[in-house]
Structure 1
């Protein structure tokens, strides 16, 4: 993956470049699913964090939990979640906007003083498209999209996941390599200069060369 390809993943639709990774261990909680699905989601988080060299925790000392994932059937259900309007600014107009757009997913990030991710809220409306996906596929896709601050257009043309010949769905190798490079300790937790993509590309090439 060259620098231009890397840059595309973090260049937003308004033309600005913005990258961020988690600056603290991830402490998740999942609402609206059965225990079996909860285990799948946490398993996906554990797998991606292990691949990235990042950590998970039972609790976040500041927030308690810092990844909140909501599964529901109708956007208006969010208006009845206790105290959610205190966590998400402008919740009511956001719900109205997402309902009107018939959206089936949305993510809200919060950042610390250094610009690193400190919290992520993942909202999934289980419409026919979402409900048709295996739990493992849905969980892995959402975790990948929550582990970095990707561009709002990063995966509009192509999913971060791929399918093996035996039918299993896995993370595309180039996306995995990009996540590992992003979590390299020598890399910054936040960047808004496109030159950052050059450094990411260089880390990927070094890692690829070292694997051969």
Structure 2
């Protein structure tokens, strides 16, 4: 985790946050209020995770609600000790297609996290399912760090390579915070003048302009 970070200074840097390993530019934000639920943690940790989600939503200027009228809850976070546990969760196969194959892939990669998004007709995010495997290494990471990192990554359809090398968080005198460049992008991405989804890299120019405008 870095101790400081600078804002993106070029449209290319902004574009990279949403350019996938395939080379495709794919952007999406939530198109509806977020109704979160968390599974697999103690009450003390639950409050930390919910606070992290609320903080990200506040930065974006988005909305949070107790219930989604269509789905009930639309941001589900699952914390588990082994990927095989997913196979025993009732109806999990309805959320994750080809669940057994997905579990096998996650085990083979020794993955620590996985996210699956669902989208509405406009391409906006309508649901996000986040899974975090609390391995021995992850168990040593402070709860607030895990919570804030996962909350940030659930707010937008970031590139699959966006945070593989660098955390979206930074250390400040006040503690762990969202990196300034990431926070500014999050805020800009929810500008109501921008579309909820985009697949043309020219969208990054509009994001960049809003980041620079502050």
Same fold? TM cut 0.5:
yes
2:39 — aligned with what? 31
Residue 162 (structure 1) aligned to one of 140, 160, 170: 170
Residue 86 (structure 2) aligned to one of 56, 66, 78: 78
1:181 — aligned with what? 188
1:191 — aligned with what? 198
Residue 205 in structure 1 maps to residue 212 in structure 2: yes
TM-score by length of 1: 0.95
2:98 — aligned with what? 90
Q: Give 3-state SS (helix, strand or coil) of 1:25's partner.
A: coil
Distance 1:106 1:43 in 2: 21
1:210 — aligned with what? none
Moved over 3 A (4+): none
Unaligned regions of 5+ residues in structure 1, if any? Answer: 208-212
**Cα displacement (A) at 1:193:** 0.3
Residue 136 (structure 1) aligned to one of 144, 155, 162: 144
Distance 2:18 2:162 in 1: 7
The CA deviation string for residues 8-66 of structure 1, in whole angstroms up to 9 with x for no partner, is 00000000000000000000111100111111111011111011100000000000000
TM-score by length of 2: 0.95
**Cα displacement (A) at 1:103:** 0.6
Residue 127 (structure 2) aligned to one of 112, 119, 122: 119
**Cα displacement (A) at 1:164:** 1.4
The CA deviation string for residues 127-175 of structure 1, in whole angstroms up to 9 with x for no partner, is 1221111111100000000100000000112111001146x11111111
Equivalenced residue count is 206
Q: Give 3-state SS (helix, strand or coil) of 1:69's partner.
A: strand
Unaligned regions of 5+ residues in structure 2, if any? Answer: 1-7
Residue 30 (structure 2) aligned to one of 22, 30, 33: 22
Residue 71 (structure 2) aligned to one of 31, 45, 63: 63
Q: Give 3-state SS (helix, strand or coil) of 1:71's partner.
A: strand
Residue 146 in structure 1 maps to residue 143 in structure 2: no
Distance 1:160 1:129 in 2: 19
